[in-house]
Amino acid sequence: MIFITVGSQKFQFNRLLKEVDNLIEEKKINRNEVFAQIGYSTYNPRFYPYKMFLDKDEFIDFIGKSELIITHGGTGSIINGVKKEKKVIGVPRSVDYQEHVDNHQYEIVEQFTNSNLIYGVTDVSKLGSAIVKVKAMSFEKYESNTNNIINLLEEYLNRN
């Protein structure tokens, strides 16, 4: 299954949703294997099921049963996918298309891509080839630094 999530920011991400419809129409993706959380997007997918928002349990459930996650460049969505060892394609929102207030998601996607945790796509017209490519790729396992940070803080506090 392919799970598409565009987050819950009050911006549309029509460009991504339309490209998935195009890929289904071109028979490059099976419509029965796609579900999307479309958030505040104004484009309603024509060929695949969707819901505007998911509660936390639904979101985690879709991640769990997905083979591939296509997400905006939000750290929460990316980390939820890589923590579950899912293949993730990150597509950053762009200020040029009124999808966000700035282009910080390009930096987020680039960082995760450079760490070999996800595959980044900045041009949605390349999404179809990215899906094919990602299926054959291996990614690094995500390791949280939270415990290391907590230990460093505790050591510092204990010394002072």
Domain extent at residue 61: 2-159
What's the pLDDT score for residue 160?
65
Place of tokens 């819901």: 51
CATH number at residue 139: 3.40.50.2000
DSSP the chain: -EEEE--SSSS--HHHHHHHHHHHHTTSS-GGGEEEE-TT-SPPPSSS-EES---HHHHHHHHHT-SEEEE-S-HHHHHHHHHTT-EEEE----GGGTSSSSSHHHHHHHHHHHTTSSEE-SSGGGHHHHHHHHHT---PPP---HHHHHHHHHHHHHH-
Per-residue pLDDT of the chain (160 residues; tens, 9 = 90+): 999 999 988 999 999 999 999 999 999 999 999 999 999 999 999 999 999 999 999 999 999 999 999 999 999 999 999 999 999 999 999 999 889 988 889 999 999 999 999 999 999 999 999 999 999 999 999 887 776 666 667 777 787 6
What's the pLDDT score for residue 44?
97
Q: For residues 93 and 15, give the distance between their C-alpha atoms in angstroms, rounded to a whole number.
A: 9
What's the pLDDT score for residue 118?
97
What's the pLDDT score for residue 152?
67
What's the pLDDT score for residue 46?
98
Q: Tally the domains of the chain.
A: 1
Q: For residues 47 and 151, give the distance between their C-alpha atoms in angstroms, rounded to a whole number.
A: 49
- Prediction pTM value: 0.89
